[in-house]
């Protein structure tokens, strides 16, 4: 099947099971510590029940970590695993590595990261961090207000339910982007609607 026919199949499935929208994009965060921790800790956890409350508390407890440099200073003196109450050494290491990379590149605020992600060389730089793949890069974009499709297990399952065959990450992302265009929806909004539909009750 062509990419367009797959996009039409997916769009039909969206209309049948989720409806016509409008689908609002998730707001993300303005606090860069929360952006980095969300990107680093979200995989394979119950987001609403487990991670979101910790991110809200992080913003209250570390208001000075609203910028990358402020967050980096906090990481230099405090234990992120204790602050997040999340004992996962690799996820903590990923948060440190993302922070150090962004600081080294001169990226300090949400708006700066939003613009920085316009460039493929910068997106590729993020992917050099252990634990950051193409999905994580797209997800980070959404956390700072970009409208992108971050293909996770929920979006893959929804596409499979629609009869879309298994595709590489970039190919399936393009099918979702095509479906959004056919339906006249914001890409990030469609992604979030599918994610909420498949993730079920929190």
User: Residues 18-56: pLDDT tens digits?
Assistant: 999 889 888 899 999 999 999 999 988 888 899 999 999
User: Which one, of 50, 23, 195, 38, lies nearest residue 110 by Cα?
Assistant: 38
pLDDT at 124 over 80: yes
pLDDT tens-digit map of 88-100: 999 999 999 999 9
Q: How confident is the model at residue 202 (pLDDT cuts 50, 70, 90)?
A: very low
Please tell me the distance from the alpha carbon of residue 142 to that of residue 123, in angstroms, as a whole number.
13
pLDDT for the residue 14: 98
For the segment 162-166, the average pLDDT, to the nearest whole number, is 96
Q: Give the integer Cα–Cα distance in Å for 131 and 81.
A: 16
- How high is the pLDDT of residue 201? 59
pTM exceeding 0.75: yes
Instruction: Answer whether 148's CB lies under 8 Å from 39's CB.
Output: no
The continuous run of DSSP H or E covering 170 comes out as helix 169-183
């Amino acid at each position: 099947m062509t990419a367009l026919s797959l996009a039409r199949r997916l769009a039909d499935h969206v209309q049948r099971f989720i409806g016509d929208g409008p689908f609002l994009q998730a707001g993300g965060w303005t606090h860069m510590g929360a952006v980095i921790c969300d990107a680093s800790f979200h995989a394979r956890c119950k987001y609403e029940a487990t991670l979101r409350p910790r991110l809200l508390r992080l913003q209250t407890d570390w208001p000075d970590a609203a910028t990358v440099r402020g967050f980096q200073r906090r990481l230099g003196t405090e234990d992120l695993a204790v602050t997040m109450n999340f004992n996962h050494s690799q996820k903590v290491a990923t948060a440190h590595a993302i922070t150090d990379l962004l600081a080294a590149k001169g990226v300090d605020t949400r708006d700066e990261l939003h613009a920085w992600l316009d460039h493929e060389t910068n997106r590729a730089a993020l992917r050099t961090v252990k634990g950051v793949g193409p999905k994580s890069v797209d997800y980070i974009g959404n956390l700072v207000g970009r409208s992108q499709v971050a293909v996770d297990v929920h979006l893959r399952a929804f596409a499979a339910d629609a009869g879309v065959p298994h595709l590489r990450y970039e190919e399936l992302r393009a099918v979702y982007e095509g479906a959004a265009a056919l339906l006249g929806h914001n890409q990030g909004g469609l992604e979030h609607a599918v994610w909420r539909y498949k993730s079920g009750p929190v």
